[in-house]
Amino acid sequence: MRLKRAAKLVNFDEVFRRDLVRVHSSTKDIPEERKKRMEKYSIIDKVRREGRSILTEFESKRLLKQVGIPVVETRLARTKNEAVLLSKRIGFPVALKIASPDVIHKTDSDGVKLALSNLVQVRAAYTQIMESVRQKYPDAAVHGVSVQKMLPPATEVIIGATKDPQFGPVIMFGLGGIFVEVLKDVSFRIIPVDRTDAEEMIREIKSYSLLQGYRGKEPANIAALVETILKISNWVNENPQIKEIDLNPVFAYKDRAVAVDARIVLEDEG
């Protein structure tokens, strides 16, 4: 995934040297009851009962919403008729995406249809997605398709967290979409981070000027991005079951930041 590929590009010894003193001096013991907080999430319980560690995009967004992170409106349709009804309820244009824990790369499997503007397109898209996935992944467990609102274009960023073998949980920020692979413009910090850390992460990427507004584009809401980084950092710090989080892209508008796609991976149960 993009987060892991980006992490491989970074010399963690150099990036985190100054963070080690801060982390060891500021991190307090986490009460046991807070470590068990994730058990309250029925989503996590369901995933565990099914013997899975990877959440679907729909499950990931529901969980992030519980944590207080803004996500694009997304509903799960288990049938073609449900997809049609949800599309009408959400409002066009919409996107349809396969919802399956066994289909990780949705686009490569032709499991994503974007900018659908009417009911005819929704019906056709649902059929095409299901036929393609069944052909390429005949044994996949398919929950249905997620129906999500298509948002206006915005500056795209990525916010993610993973576990480094040496330093433990780390958080990443950078330019999102496909550009995280092309430009490799990202910043990392050891979790937990404070507000100053989050602000520094944003300012130190080379493409920071794009977030300030460029050639007539509206500036991104830096405060909203900072809040998202802090919420991800705190949540991962309090819940060791989380192995990996990838919010890519996050649409950064002048008044808000919204996660458009998301993926969460849990630690294997030992």
Q: Which fold has domain 2-46+153-266?
A: D-amino Acid Aminotransferase; Chain A, domain 1 (3.30.470)
pLDDT digits (tens, 9 = 90+) for 132-161: 999 999 999 999 999 999 999 999 999 999
**pLDDT grade for 215, boundaries at 50, 70 and 90:** confident
The pTM (predicted TM-score) of the whole model is: 0.84
Where does CATH 3.30.470.20 sit in the chain? 2-46+153-266
Q: What would the pLDDT profile of 58-106 be if each residue is shown by its tens digit?
A: 999 999 999 999 999 999 999 999 999 999 999 999 999 999 999 988 9
Whole-number pLDDT of residue 5: 56
* Residue range(s) occupied by CATH 3.30.1490.20 in the chain: 73-149
The per-residue pLDDT for 60 is: 96
109-144 as b/e, with b when 16 or more CB fall inside 10 Å? bebbbeebeeeebbbebbeebbeebeeebeebebbb
Give the residue with greater pLDDT, 178 vs 122.
122
What is residue 26's predicted lDDT score, i.e. its pLDDT? 47
| CB contact set of 34 (below 8 Å; sequence gap of 6+) | 238
| CATH code, residues 73-149 | 3.30.1490.20
